[in-house]
Structure 1
Amino acid sequence: MDISLKAIKDCAFSEYERQIFHVIKATLQSRAKTAAKSTKIAQDIAFFCISQDEGVDVGETLWNVWAVVVEMASRIPAGHAWQDSLVLGLDVLREQDGAVLPADEDDEDEKDGKKPLLWQDLPNLALCPADTHLDPTETAEDLADEFARWRNLNSFVARVTSDEFAPWRNLSVWQLRGALEKTPLANAAAFDTRVWVATEWAIECADPVLAVERWAFWKARFAELRADAANLGLSAATAARISEALKSMEAVHAPKK
């Protein structure tokens, strides 16, 4: 699948954010394998933080980095190799021991009463998607590009979610409730997007995030939507994803062998 990040050139990036974008873009477009790309992305992000100008707060630097990463993630389709590289790059960062800054700089933070920022927490990332992207299905308009970006973004954050890192639990619940507990939208494209996003959360992280009391109801609603997919205007691809989501949900509570 060929994709382009040219549309990002019109984003309101700062000069520094644009530098970050070009570095990560070059890595994604390289011919290296996915594992090598993810390692390079992690190294680049770490470098941006330790090479900041004196007096610049590392939290601000991280916000710049995440703003770029999230914007890029919203342009990369689910399942694309570039998405794999971004997701794995963040996994590599989380596996690093210790703080974002070298020990001497962290000591200064502790003197000021600040706790050091740890890579395992991916500091500030949790707030970035909600701050920069709103659910486009809430409008009555048919916004094809925005719907695609919303799918991509939810896929990215769902894949980053794990047992140890699950800051978007509320987002996952909101997306499932929006698709399964509310009246289907009259806008078929918007409703198809809602259902697609709900299936993505169920497929990617049903076990760590979604073992909640509405589980049985959500499974029943997924089955109902699949049965009535044509009348609801759901695409064949989304209907197929419902089946995949149901398999993931069933697997969570399957008897252990």
Structure 2
Amino acid sequence: MAPAEESQQLVFIDALLAGRANLTVTAEQLTRWAYDPKNFGDDAEGGLWDLWSTINYKAERTKSDDAIAHGKLVELVDAIKHLESPTNDAGEKSKCWEMTLWEQLPVFGANMRESWNCAFSLSRSEERVVRRERWINLNAFVARLTAVRIDDFELYAIWQLRDALEEPVEDSSFDAKIPAAVQWILYCGELIYTSKREYEHGPRVGDPARGGELWKGDKRGFCEERWRFWKSRFAELQHYEKLLPETRELAGKAVQVMESIEQSCIFDNYTPSNQNKYNIRVHSLVSI
């Protein structure tokens, strides 16, 4: 459920984005309720759900290329993650869903998954245009979070790149899917390129990192072969006339960024500490 426009949590976040409040103050304002034993005991899950929903709501409404605002939202999640945990009467750190506040960001992943499941749920064309923009913005936010490893959303990169690039282009939804996939290349591309991560599959867990119809490889995860396939698809799609011009332009920029990553990235030497250098290089490309 989206927060009310006048919600106090949104007021706190707006003040942060406008430069009227700092990260520490904002993180403490947003989480103050959790340090009241009565409030936390009554509905910890609901309070956490509202917190993450508000941050995601704001990310969806922040343009994907607004590096300053998205950077502040990413830093806000990190600031919350590093807050001192509230404790119960026995002095034990508070938990929700068996996850410790705040270091394990309880409920954040589930809340984000719901945001993913709700994509493109609107039918009227004017609503789809708005939803398309918000979907792209949310992917940019989660890609940035993943790049600096504040939380583990690497699988979301595969989901978005698979939906956009490993399936035949069938309808106008690809004018949202492809730009959303580009965000992962722009803001998390170096991690994706260097990752060798594979995901378990089978009756118990399903096959979350499986390939799409067009991907013939057998890897359930990231690999250089899959990266090359994604790059080739972006190269094809930049000339696909049924797509919007802005979608084709973004596909072309994704190819440029991927080639830049290949040329400058030392395999297995990527760490979050050099993400800023990568962001500078990407900014020079996406500003073309």
The reply to whether TM is greater than 0.5 is: yes
- The alpha-carbon deviation at position 52 of structure 1 amounts to 6.2
Q: Is the aligned partner of 1:238 residue 2:250?
A: yes
TM-score (structure 2 length as normaliser): 0.67
Cα distance in 1 between the residues matched to 2:242 and 2:97: 56
* Match of residue 163 from structure 2: 178
Given candidates 213, 226, 229, the residue that maps to 1:217 is 229
Structure 2 residue ranges without an equivalent (≥5): 196-221, 270-288
Cα distance in 2 between the residues matched to 1:246 and 1:48: 44
Cα distance in 2 between the residues matched to 1:12 and 1:26: 19
**In the alignment, is the contact (CA less than 8 A) between 1:63 and 1:125 conserved in 2?**
yes
Change (3 A) 1:121 1:231: same
Cα distance in 2 between the residues matched to 1:253 and 1:109: 41
Q: Is the aligned partner of 1:78 residue 2:38?
A: no
Q: Which moved more, 1:197-206 or 1:79-88?
A: 79-88
- The alpha-carbon deviation at position 239 of structure 1 amounts to 3.7
TM-score (structure 1 length as normaliser): 0.74
* Match of residue 45 from structure 2: 59
- The alpha-carbon deviation at position 67 of structure 1 amounts to 1.1
Change (3 A) 1:162 1:44: farther
Q: Is the aligned partner of 1:122 residue 2:110?
A: no
- The alpha-carbon deviation at position 240 of structure 1 amounts to 4.5
Q: Which moved more, 1:228-237 or 1:54-63?
A: 228-237
Number of aligned pairs? 234
Q: Which amino acid aligns with 1:67?
A: S
Cα distance in 2 between the residues matched to 1:229 and 1:125: 37
**In the alignment, is the contact (CA less than 8 A) between 1:180 and 1:222 conserved in 2?**
yes
Q: Give RMSD over aligned pairs.
A: 3.4
Change (3 A) 1:163 1:69: closer
- The alpha-carbon deviation at position 203 of structure 1 amounts to 2.0
Please list the CA deviations of residues 153-200 of structure 1 after superposition, one character each: whole Å capped at 9, or x if unmatched.
11111111146444322221111011111111332xx32321111111
Change (3 A) 1:218 1:139: farther
Change (3 A) 1:140 1:63: closer
Correspondences of 1:64-213 after superposition (within 5 Å): 64-80=50-66, 81-96=68-83, 100-102=85-87, 104=89, 107=92, 115=98, 117-133=100-116, 134-136=118-120, 141=125, 143-162=128-147, 164-187=149-172, 190-209=173-192, 211=195, 212-213=222-223
Q: Which moved more, 1:175-184 or 1:129-138?
A: 129-138
Cα distance in 1 between the residues matched to 2:16 and 2:148: 28
- The alpha-carbon deviation at position 146 of structure 1 amounts to 0.5
- Structure 1 runs (4+) deviating above 6 angstroms are 137-140
**In the alignment, is the contact (CA less than 8 A) between 1:161 and 1:167 conserved in 2?**
yes
Higher relative contact order (CA 8 A, sep 6+): 1
Change (3 A) 1:108 1:90: closer
Cα distance in 2 between the residues matched to 1:174 and 1:114: 25
Q: Which amino acid aligns with 2:102?
A: W
Q: Which amino acid aligns with 1:20?
A: Q
Cα distance in 2 between the residues matched to 1:247 and 1:205: 14
* Match of residue 6 from structure 1: none
**In the alignment, is the contact (CA less than 8 A) between 2:61 and 2:137 conserved in 1?**
yes
Percent pairwise identity: 26
Please list the CA deviations of residues 116-141 of structure 1 after superposition, one character each: whole Å capped at 9, or x if unmatched.
61423222111112214522189795
